[in-house]
Structure 1
Amino acid sequence: MRKACIYPGTFDPITNGHLDVIKRARTFFDKVVIAIAVNSTKNPFFDIDDRIKMVKKATIHLSNIEVVSFDNLLIDFAKKRNIPTIIRGLRAVSDFEYELQMGYANASLWDELETVYLMPSLKSAFISSSVVRSIFYHGGDISHLVPKEILPLPKFKKDKNVDHL
């Protein structure tokens, strides 16, 4: 069994679905490195410092978790840390198609890489950061969608683009 895995993402913000995948990954791995992508091309809603703080608050009660940011190729990050296992969450068929393509692309860059796909529990399967952002942006209640430890969410600039429901 591999001792560590990387769970990458923008975590913009971290949701109960993300937390569910993190808890599941901990049952298979001794350590989960949560790698938060700076990813300015996605124009994140929350800045990187706020996203790191939110993930740390949400996972403070979990052992063997490391929260870090990265601003390079995931493969380069994984190689530098010598962690050849990536965890990805799958909610729907549309996630699978995208994640499969990314998994193959990453594997083409590093032969030792394995991508492990985990499905969140049924109660978290519909939750995505974009749904949370849209509800939050429009003043809706997100308390059932995100870890209670991160509430209230940090302030954001109203000019941010937001996916609509």
Structure 2
Amino acid sequence: MKIAVCPGSFDPVTNGHVDIFERASSMYDRLIIAVFRNPGKNPLFNMEDRVRLLKQATQHIPNVEVDSFSGLLTDFVLQKDSRIIVRGLRALSDFEYEFQRALLIKCVRPEIETVFMMTSSEYSFVSSSGIKELAQFGGDISKLVPPMLYDEITQRCRELAARKTL
């Protein structure tokens, strides 16, 4: 059984993420979306909410599992009986960053492979940080996030914007 892990913070999940999940899930028997707890970031959504939102956004993909982790990605991948990491790329700048990470992982755990997938061109400009900024200022994100999550993401971003103005 080919099991792949697709890690990220997914704060919030976007249509670009879902595009990668759909396409990667057709290549592997099981795709584990791994929500990373990054202590260096102050997330919009807590870990439990991000897992819940990802489950909602991927409920139409039968071989997807959503999980969370903290610590080393390599340890998580091996614990899940996987040897494959899937990373989505939007632009050359993503590749430079992800390439360095993949080489570091290869140095530490040579048995783990990193697979890069280019996002569909319609989502090449979509990022979680861009979504948050756009929504905080009242911009329309309806075409950029999964429809079932639109209201919750918009509301949370507006709440964040309101706290920043106090």
Which position in structure 2 is the counterpart of 1:131? 130
Separation in structure 2 between the aligned mates of residue 159 and residue 69 of structure 1, nearest angstrom: 27
Name the SS for the 1:36 alignment partner: strand
Amino acid at match of 1:158: L
Which position in structure 2 is the counterpart of 1:158? 160
Matches within 5 A, 1:35-54: 35-54=34-53
Contact 1:5 1:29 in 2 (8 A): yes
Runs (5+) with no aligned partner, structure 2: none
Name the structure with the higher helix share: 2
CA RMSD, Structure 1 to Structure 2 (Å): 1.9
Separation in structure 2 between the aligned mates of residue 146 and residue 43 of structure 1, nearest angstrom: 20
Contact 2:25 2:61 in 1 (8 A): no
Matches within 5 A, 1:84-103: 84-103=83-102
> What CA deviation, in whole Å up to 9, does each residue of 1:91-135 have, x standing for no partner?
111001000000011111111010000001111111111110111
Count of aligned residue pairs for this structure pair = 161
Change (3 A) 1:30 1:111: same
Runs (5+) with no aligned partner, structure 1: none
Amino acid at match of 1:49: E
Contact 2:136 2:161 in 1 (8 A): no
Contact 1:21 1:89 in 2 (8 A): yes
Structure 1 residue 159 displacement after superposition = 7.0
What TM-score, normalized to structure 2? 0.91
Which position in structure 2 is the counterpart of 1:67? 66
Separation in structure 1 between the aligned mates of residue 130 and residue 28 of structure 2, nearest angstrom: 29
Contact 1:32 1:64 in 2 (8 A): yes
